[in-house]
Structure 1
Amino acid sequence: MKNIIFFTALILVNFESLAQQIPNNRVLDIAELSEYLNEDTKQKLQGDSKVISSETLAAYFREQFSYGFFYNWENNNARFEEYAALYEEKDAHVTRALDHQNKYKANTVWQLPFNYKNGEAVDVYALRHLARQHKMVDVAMQYYYTGKDTLKVNYFKEQLKSLNTALKNNKVETIESGNGIYEVFRSGYRILNWLQIHNLYLGSEAYSDEDQLLTIATLLQHASDLYETNDTFQAGNHQTRGMSALAMLSILFNDFKDADAWRERALDLLEQHLNKEINKDGFQFERSVHYHISDIENYFYVYQLAQNNKVKLSANFENKLRNLFSTLVKIAYPDKSAPVFSDDTDAPWAESNDISGTLTLGYLLFEDPEMGYFAKSNVSSKIYWFLKKEQLDKLKTIKSTKPSFGSLQLPETGYYVMRGGWDKNDAMLVISAGLDAEKPDHQHGDMLGLQIFANERVILPNYQVRYSLEDLELFKNSEVKNVSLVDTLLQGVDYKSNKGGSGFGKFGSLPQPETLLFDSTDSLDVYIGKHSGFEENGVEYSRQVLFIDTDFWIVKDNFSSANPHNYKQVWQGHYTLEEAPQLLRSSFDNGSGLDIYQLQEVDTVSLSGKRGKEWAMPKVSDRTNFSFVTAVVPFKTYLDRIDETSSKPTIKDWSVVYTPTSKVGIKTIQLNKANKSYFFNVINTTVSNLKFDFIEPADVIIEKGLRDITIRSLSTKEILFTYQDSDSNIAAVMNTLKMGASIKIEMKK
Structure 2
Amino acid sequence: MNTTAEKKAKLKEKYGRSQEETLRCSEYAKRWWPKETSHRMRIADEVRNQLFLFDLPWDMEQTAEPVTFEGEIDWSYQPGPDPEFIFQMNRHQYWICLGQAYAMTGDEAYAECFASQLVHWIKKNPLTEETKGTTWRTIEAGIRGINWLRAMGYFVDSPAVTDEVFEQFLSCMKEHGVYLAACERPFSTKSNWGVLENNGLFAIAHLLQETGDCPEAGAWIKLAKNRLIRQNWVQILDDGVQWEMSPMYHNEVLKCFLEALQTAAFYDDEFPQEFQDKVKSMVFADRIWQKPDKSQPSGGDSDVTDLRDLLTAGAFWFEDPVLKSGGYDRMDYEGIWNYGICAQVRYEALASCEPESLDCWLSDSGNWYLRSSWQEDADYLHMRCGSLGGGHGHFDKGHLDLVIGGEDVLVDPGRYTYVDGTERRMLKSTKAHNTVTVDSEEYTHCVDSWGVKGLWPAVGGAMSRKGKYGFAECGHLGYIDRGVYVERRVLAVGTRIYVVMDTCYGNGDHTLTQHFHPALNQKVTVRENGFTLEGEKSRAEFFCISGHEGSIVLEEEAFPVSLHYNQIENGTMVSCKKQGNGVFGMMTVIVCSALNENETGAWAEAVPVMSAMAGKPLSSHEADGVRIQAQGHTWLVVNAHVEAGASCEYIGAEGRFGLGRVMAAEDDEEDMTVLKW
Global fold match (TM > 0.5): yes
Distance in 1 separating the partners of 2:371 and 2:68: 50
- 2:131 is the alignment partner of 1:181: no
Aligned pairs for 1:715-730 within 5 A:
none
Choose the corresponding residue for 2:619, options 657, 663, 667: 663
Choose the corresponding residue for 1:102, options 62, 68, 85: 68
Choose the corresponding residue for 1:152, options 113, 135, 139: 113
- 2:558 is the alignment partner of 1:586: no
Q: Which amino acid aligns with 2:4?
A: A
- 2:571 is the alignment partner of 1:605: no
Kindly tell me: are residues 288 and 72 of structure 1, through their superposed partners in 2, closer, same or farther at Cα, counting changes over 3 Å?
farther
How many angstroms does 1:316 deviate by? 1.5
Aligned pairs for 1:594-743 within 5 A:
594-600=540-546, 602-609=551-558, 610=560, 611-621=569-579, 623-637=581-595, 641=599, 643=601, 649=603, 657-658=607-608, 661=617, 663=619, 668-671=624-627, 678-681=637-640, 694-695=646-647, 711-714=659-662, 740-741=676-677
Aligned pairs for 1:7-406 within 5 A:
34=1, 57-69=3-15, 71-72=17-18, 75-76=21-22, 79-80=25-26, 82-84=28-30, 86=33, 87-89=37-39, 90-95=41-46, 98-100=50-52, 102-103=68-69, 108=74, 124-140=83-99, 147-149=107-109, 151-163=112-124, 166-167=126-127, 170=128, 173-175=130-132, 179-230=133-184, 234-255=189-210, 256=212, 257-345=215-303, 350=304, 353-377=305-329, 379-397=331-349, 399-406=351-358
Distance in 2 separating the partners of 1:675 and 1:157: 69
- Residues 229 and 275 in structure 2, CA contact (< 8 A), matched pair in contact too: yes
Distance in 1 separating the partners of 2:623 and 2:151: 69
- Residues 446 and 478 in structure 1, CA contact (< 8 A), matched pair in contact too: yes
TM-score by length of 1: 0.74
SS of residue paired to 1:354: coil
Kindly tell me: are residues 464 and 381 of structure 1, through their superposed partners in 2, closer, same or farther at Cα, counting changes over 3 Å?
farther
SS of residue paired to 1:159: helix
- Residues 454 and 478 in structure 2, CA contact (< 8 A), matched pair in contact too: no
- Residues 658 and 669 in structure 1, CA contact (< 8 A), matched pair in contact too: yes
Counterpart of 2:369 in structure 1 is: 417
Choose the corresponding residue for 1:542, options 457, 476, 487: 487
Distance in 2 separating the partners of 1:702 and 1:398: 54
Larger of the two Rg values belongs to structure: 1
Q: Which amino acid aligns with 1:133?
A: H
- Residues 360 and 370 in structure 2, CA contact (< 8 A), matched pair in contact too: yes
SS of residue paired to 2:248: helix
SS of residue paired to 1:323: helix
Distance in 2 separating the partners of 1:311 and 1:665: 63
How many angstroms does 1:671 deviate by? 4.2
Deviations 1:275-316 (A, max 9, x none): 111111111111121111111110111111211221122111
Deviations 1:139-164 (A, max 9, x none): 55566669221641442233233146
- Residues 700 and 714 in structure 1, CA contact (< 8 A), matched pair in contact too: no
**Unaligned regions of 5+ residues in structure 1, if any?**
1-33, 35-44, 46-56, 498-504, 685-691, 716-737, 742-749
How many angstroms does 1:197 deviate by? 2.4
Counterpart of 1:4 in structure 2 is: none
Distance in 2 separating the partners of 1:384 and 1:104: 35
Choose the corresponding residue for 2:393, options 439, 443, 448: 443
How many angstroms does 1:267 deviate by? 0.8
- Residues 87 and 140 in structure 2, CA contact (< 8 A), matched pair in contact too: yes
SS of residue paired to 1:264: helix
Deviates more, 1:217-226 or 1:230-239: 230-239
- Residues 368 and 382 in structure 2, CA contact (< 8 A), matched pair in contact too: yes
Choose the corresponding residue for 2:443, options 472, 491, 503: 491
- Residues 131 and 186 in structure 1, CA contact (< 8 A), matched pair in contact too: yes
How many angstroms does 1:670 deviate by? 4.7
Choose the corresponding residue for 2:458, options 509, 513, 525: 513
How many angstroms does 1:62 deviate by? 2.2
Kindly tell me: are residues 465 and 377 of structure 1, through their superposed partners in 2, closer, same or farther at Cα, counting changes over 3 Å?
same
Distance in 2 separating the partners of 1:710 and 1:566: 30
How many angstroms does 1:400 deviate by? 1.9
- Residues 185 and 242 in structure 1, CA contact (< 8 A), matched pair in contact too: yes
Deviates more, 1:515-524 or 1:237-246: 515-524
- Residues 575 and 586 in structure 1, CA contact (< 8 A), matched pair in contact too: yes
Q: Percent identity?
A: 15
Counterpart of 1:532 in structure 2 is: 477
Kindly tell me: are residues 109 and 511 of structure 1, through their superposed partners in 2, closer, same or farther at Cα, counting changes over 3 Å?
same
How many angstroms does 1:382 deviate by? 4.2
- Residues 189 and 234 in structure 2, CA contact (< 8 A), matched pair in contact too: no
Q: Which amino acid aligns with 2:325?
A: Y
- Residues 583 and 596 in structure 1, CA contact (< 8 A), matched pair in contact too: yes
Kindly tell me: are residues 365 and 140 of structure 1, through their superposed partners in 2, closer, same or farther at Cα, counting changes over 3 Å?
closer
SS of residue paired to 1:370: helix
Distance in 1 separating the partners of 2:508 and 2:150: 63
Deviations 1:660-695 (A, max 9, x none): 9463798852548999853235999xxxxxxx9854
Counterpart of 2:59 in structure 1 is: none
How many angstroms does 1:261 deviate by? 0.5
Deviations 1:441-471 (A, max 9, x none): 1111111111122212122211332325761
Count, aligned residues: 615
SS of residue paired to 2:676: coil
Distance in 2 separating the partners of 1:699 and 1:296: 49
Q: Which amino acid aligns with 2:130?
A: E
Q: RMSD value over aligned CA atoms?
A: 3.5
SS of residue paired to 2:117: helix
Distance in 2 separating the partners of 1:146 and 1:70: 14
Q: Which amino acid aligns with 1:678?
A: V
TM-score by length of 2: 0.81
Counterpart of 1:15 in structure 2 is: none
Counterpart of 2:668 in structure 1 is: none
SS of residue paired to 2:108: coil
Distance in 1 separating the partners of 2:257 and 2:217: 19
How many angstroms does 1:188 deviate by? 0.5
- 2:509 is the alignment partner of 1:564: yes
How many angstroms does 1:403 deviate by? 2.3
Deviations 1:211-253 (A, max 9, x none): 1122012101211211122376631011100101111122223
- Residues 504 and 512 in structure 2, CA contact (< 8 A), matched pair in contact too: yes
- Residues 575 and 616 in structure 1, CA contact (< 8 A), matched pair in contact too: no
Q: Which amino acid aligns with 2:536?
A: D
Q: Which amino acid aligns with 2:659?
A: I
